[in-house]
Amino acid sequence: MSLTDKVSGTAKEAEGKLTGDKSREAEGKLEKAKGEAKDAAEHVKDAAGNLVDRARDEVDKHRGAQDAAGADRR
């Protein structure tokens, strides 16, 4: 989970700064960045899903208009 990664990363980064452990600080920064990347990926996934839904709605609307026009011609 991205929130867990961000919180854990922040804690490790702070611990590293407090103790002077550059390795622990870097580990925390990496973990925090991993959480942020997961968040960004989730936003992209949601946006792509929304675009697909909107495209389907437009296709359905277009098909409905065609069906209605065809019924008028009969």
Mean pLDDT of all residues belonging to the chain: 91
Q: What's residue 69's pLDDT?
A: 67
Contact by Cβ (8 Å): 10, 28: yes
Cα–Cα distance for residue pair 20/29, rounded to 1 Å: 14
**pLDDT value at 12 more than 80:** yes
Cα–Cα distance for residue pair 74/69, rounded to 1 Å: 9
pLDDT band at residue 42 using 50, 70 and 90 as cut-offs: very high
Q: What's residue 31's pLDDT?
A: 97
**pLDDT value at 17 more than 90:** yes
